[in-house]
Structure 1
């Protein structure tokens, strides 16, 4: 969970939210919650809220003023400014938020327990982060799903087949939870298929996170699930460009990083990483050796050796630079804030500013020769030079829309594209510009042409406008891209590249289909893991049980065991998947494990945004975050459902389940003032009902985000009750299919071959062994091997009937002697199946 700290006398929840940094909105406003519903969703880019106010990024103020809405402008440049909301939620009724004096000049708004900051310095951020932890919000367009009601049939199931539900929740096993936990925390090694390994940290920026990912995938696949990996990036990839005329050499730039390829994108390498957080906006390859990239704070970098070394060039400005274009290896131009145009004639050894007739931000620049060029930007700005950039004149665009891209086919024929479906064309070098009418109001972001006839315009929401007649007509086409596109590069009809928000993709059939390439970028992606139990009657109705599997600590790169935060939730999801695999449900259940929660819900936001774009019918999400600590042993826990009615219904439903099932839990159902600092909020933001189950805030885990967050602090009875509540609730919501489940009830025949985790483990001198056989087997072999592969004991070698079977190994070897302390492998084998578990004899 990404939000909590303590002081010597009192606890605070400090929730720090970066509202933008890669956004395309213009204004940050504060608006009362009851006025928010009157906003046009197409004008909304990002939403955050507290108890009374909505903080919203919008692209235009006009719709608000036309409707006479009550709002306050907090900032007018969300595209480059970065905003942090600091929010204090009391545990012991302490309401005041205390901030260092050095932040006062940066505060845009505050009340007693909240404050909104603009562009705080990195050293102050590091201090705050060390004390309070930060949450990064990537700026996706606001895409509400509008699913405000829950199917009533699922909330009327309290008494339906209660015997099965009771059987399910009674089957939750602590030894299974601890078996998973001891591996996730690194307190015990696990068998990765080839050797024993340990997960010492699950920090998202450590390579160890991939061990955790592989372990979870292995566990779910052992249960018979097909595990879907949902890749996402922790940064935006702003531009992709290959060398003109070839398909091998190319670059991708984004936040703090430059990638390069020399084999056509089959492999990419990290060529440069910026430690100051510079966001690289654009890159221009001159040839396969020379390339330039530009970005924040006047940053200009050049490579002359294909990217092995990037050198910083002296910039005469300290502003945001957005576009770069080179005529040859010596002559080039850069555009940026305040109408800035920079020019070099010596390969960037010196850059000189030009006088321009605008103060608008310029996003893109294009030249057809060393003399003729155009730049476009905000407020419908188009400027032109005919003398290589020495002087510029303003051309009449006929629009006030923001223009993001410009491209010319000849010195006379060119295009400028931008927001709200804006496509402008000129056939006289820009003396006159005419507008093309196109259905919809897409936010166009980049343009490129294959030849004089065939061109593409990319939009933020993954759609394209295409022409095959030189731009006389444009047709809007959908695609299988569901992320925001920031750049497009057409090499030939078999090689088209795009990049964007958690996106790198290539098309080899001129955008008829796309191949996702994000996973080819090293250290660029993490994976959410999704295991699906398809519904029998309503497969399109989806319920999600989720948790984040990443962790952090005071030494995150070295050791972040995260037993409670959030190995507890992760192990509970895996236990639910194990138990519910034996049943059929009318609706679909997805077991979701998210990464990068501690960095700002990045994984869950990427997934929620993705399924919202697809239009998935998600009727309920149960998020488990920190469900194992109960220091005062009073059984208190919290349910956070927020202000959405359908979420509150699920919260009420779960409160009733605690009573109906006689669980040793005391609930506090929070609506107003509910915490949004975990993965359930990602679903709130796109309109899906979701709740969080969490331990009692007023009895907070003192080992939170420390290397001491170990299994020893978990309260076993409390942890099992919390898991039982989650497992039973998701089962009841998805509704057991009685037409296919009755046989399981009567005969208790397992559906799949499965070897349970032995317990206790470690053991001395005996260990309990349990396994399932879905059908009779002529020869069932249960064997014990030592770490060198030598058989120590052949426990079973016989025909066995279908069903659940149990036995015990008392540490006696084949020769009748006592086995020594050590690690052993338990192997269950039939003609068709084989599974293994590790056991530790500790005398």
Structure 2
């Protein structure tokens, strides 16, 4: 992903910009982002290993992503592999298309890369990949006026090869725009680092390359920031887009924006970019912001039919559950929201997925017999669950 440079972070943004107001249907869908899904996606992505473009692991990761879309109900005709080569290396982008109701030939692209160079790349860019998957899952059956393309690029780390191929050979050909693209929304390294204060996200605007698309990029980036504050608990900062998969589109005159972590983890491109070091709760919050923003950009339906309300709003929510202290030494406290049923299960697993402790209806969990390290704590109540990462440190 992006090379190590110094960010220019300016203009803290609050809600109310561009005349945007909260749309309840959008919020309801943003609230469907699942911490459990995000955590599972991050863990599975990490377990796929180093994903160097052209490698077996890289191809396996593409298959893993493809299988996710199939499980969400996307049809084979909606899922397209886009092969490309550079030098002696071959790889594939994955493109999933959801057709709009009013503007089927005008697209909002949400994208991010899945290749890595050193380490499993759980933050760079398993985090962006996990968020895009969750956006696709939630919006699968939501009518949107504009078509949406969910694109997973490869070859980013070697020089934006996958996105360059798509921008130059699919979106734009022989000097002509073949795809009418309303916006390209890129997510790259939004994983944060466990232990950092991860309460803010950078919204990226175009200040480089072609100048004719800068004003439009600035406008949509302000809208992205507003959506973030409306539909997630994150604060926002505006900075400049650079060195990621939106840039080949920018060079062709398309409008771009993006997300990038505010407090840098500095684990990218190292063996430390692992599941143990990423902050799944931060990625969950980015997911809520992305779902809200994509509904705004693609103009999603603002109504919720009476018959679907129960489906869209879970009867029990565990997102506000408190699990503390963290790090923990001897006893872990699980504090559930008042509205939640008192019948619940707490299960602790190691990072390999092995269950090491399980208790029912206990708010105080004795973990003194467990070794120091990073674990996952899953709280289940009824048909819903929440997973948080905990550190045992004695």
Q: Distance in 1 between matches of 2:135 and 2:182?
A: 19
Q: Which of the residues 150, 171, 195 maps onto 1:611?
A: 171
TM-score, length-scaled by structure 1: 0.34
The question of whether the paired residues in 2 share the 8 Å contact of 1:664 and 1:718 is answered with no
Change (3 A) 1:90 1:619: closer
What residue number does 1:633 align with?
197
Q: Which of the residues 211, 227, 232 maps onto 1:657?
A: 227
Q: Secondary structure, in 3 states, of the residue corresponding to 2:265? A: coil
Between Structure 1 and Structure 2, the one with more strand by share is 1
Q: Distance in 1 between matches of 2:307 and 2:90?
A: 41
Q: Secondary structure, in 3 states, of the residue corresponding to 1:563? A: coil
Q: Distance in 2 between matches of 1:545 and 1:176?
A: 19
RCO comparison, higher one (Cα < 8 Å, 6+)? 2
What residue number does 2:339 align with?
none
Q: Secondary structure, in 3 states, of the residue corresponding to 1:541? A: strand
What residue number does 2:276 align with?
712
Q: Which of the residues 592, 615, 624 maps onto 2:151?
A: 592
Q: Which of the residues 574, 578, 583 maps onto 2:137?
A: 578
Q: Deviations over 1:641-676 (max 9, x none)?
A: 123111111111012223333x33232212xxx241
Tell me by how many angstroms 1:708 deviates: 1.6
What residue number does 1:207 align with?
56
The question of whether the paired residues in 2 share the 8 Å contact of 1:547 and 1:566 is answered with yes
The question of whether the paired residues in 1 share the 8 Å contact of 2:206 and 2:217 is answered with yes
Q: Which of the residues 148, 154, 160 maps onto 1:601?
A: 160
Change (3 A) 1:654 1:744: farther
The question of whether the paired residues in 1 share the 8 Å contact of 2:81 and 2:94 is answered with yes
What residue number does 2:390 align with?
none
The question of whether the paired residues in 1 share the 8 Å contact of 2:123 and 2:273 is answered with yes
Between Structure 1 and Structure 2, the one with more helix by share is 2
Change (3 A) 1:200 1:164: same
What residue number does 1:687 align with?
253
Q: Secondary structure, in 3 states, of the residue corresponding to 1:646? A: helix
Q: Does 1:550 align with 2:120?
A: no
1:137-536 alignment, distance < 5 Å: 158-159=20-21, 162-186=23-47, 199-225=48-74, 226-235=78-87, 524-536=89-101
The question of whether the paired residues in 2 share the 8 Å contact of 1:536 and 1:737 is answered with no
Q: Does 1:667 align with 2:236?
A: yes
Tell me by how many angstroms 1:743 deviates: 5.4
What residue number does 2:217 align with?
647
Change (3 A) 1:807 1:711: closer
What residue number does 2:127 align with?
568
Q: Deviations over 1:45-85 (max 9, x none)?
A: xxxxxxxxxxxxxxxxxxxxxxxxxxxxxxxxxxxxxxxxx
The question of whether the paired residues in 1 share the 8 Å contact of 2:228 and 2:293 is answered with no
Tell me by how many angstroms 1:632 deviates: 3.3
Structure number with larger C-alpha Rg: 1
Q: Distance in 2 between matches of 1:169 and 1:659?
A: 12
Q: Which of the residues 367, 383, 386 maps onto 1:806?
A: 383
Tell me by how many angstroms 1:537 deviates: 1.4
TM-score, length-scaled by structure 2: 0.71
Q: Which of the residues 290, 295, 305 maps onto 1:731?
A: 295
The question of whether the paired residues in 2 share the 8 Å contact of 1:2 and 1:599 is answered with no
Change (3 A) 1:707 1:653: same
Q: Distance in 2 between matches of 1:184 and 1:749?
A: 27
Change (3 A) 1:157 1:227: farther
Q: Deviations over 1:380-400 (max 9, x none)?
A: xxxxxxxxxxxxxxxxxxxxx
Q: How many residue pairs get matched?
A: 306
Q: Deviations over 1:329-357 (max 9, x none)?
A: xxxxxxxxxxxxxxxxxxxxxxxxxxxxx
What residue number does 2:3 align with?
3
Change (3 A) 1:744 1:737: farther
The question of whether the paired residues in 2 share the 8 Å contact of 1:157 and 1:735 is answered with no
Tell me by how many angstroms 1:612 deviates: 2.1
Tell me by how many angstroms 1:686 deviates: 0.8
Q: Which of the residues 346, 358, 367 maps onto 1:765?
A: 358
Task: Give unmatched runs, 5+ long, in structure 2.
Answer: 10-16, 208-213, 314-345, 361-381, 386-394
Tell me by how many angstroms 1:712 deviates: 1.9
Q: Deviations over 1:279-313 (max 9, x none)?
A: xxxxxxxxxxxxxxxxxxxxxxxxxxxxxxxxxxx
The question of whether the paired residues in 1 share the 8 Å contact of 2:241 and 2:257 is answered with no
What residue number does 1:622 align with?
185
Q: Secondary structure, in 3 states, of the residue corresponding to 1:564? A: coil
Q: Secondary structure, in 3 states, of the residue corresponding to 2:233? A: coil
What residue number does 1:240 align with?
none
The question of whether the paired residues in 2 share the 8 Å contact of 1:172 and 1:579 is answered with yes
The two structures, once aligned, show a CA RMSD in angstroms of: 2.8
The question of whether the paired residues in 2 share the 8 Å contact of 1:565 and 1:625 is answered with yes
The question of whether the paired residues in 2 share the 8 Å contact of 1:622 and 1:726 is answered with no
Tell me by how many angstroms 1:90 deviates: 6.1
What residue number does 1:755 align with?
none
Q: Distance in 2 between matches of 1:91 and 1:158?
A: 26
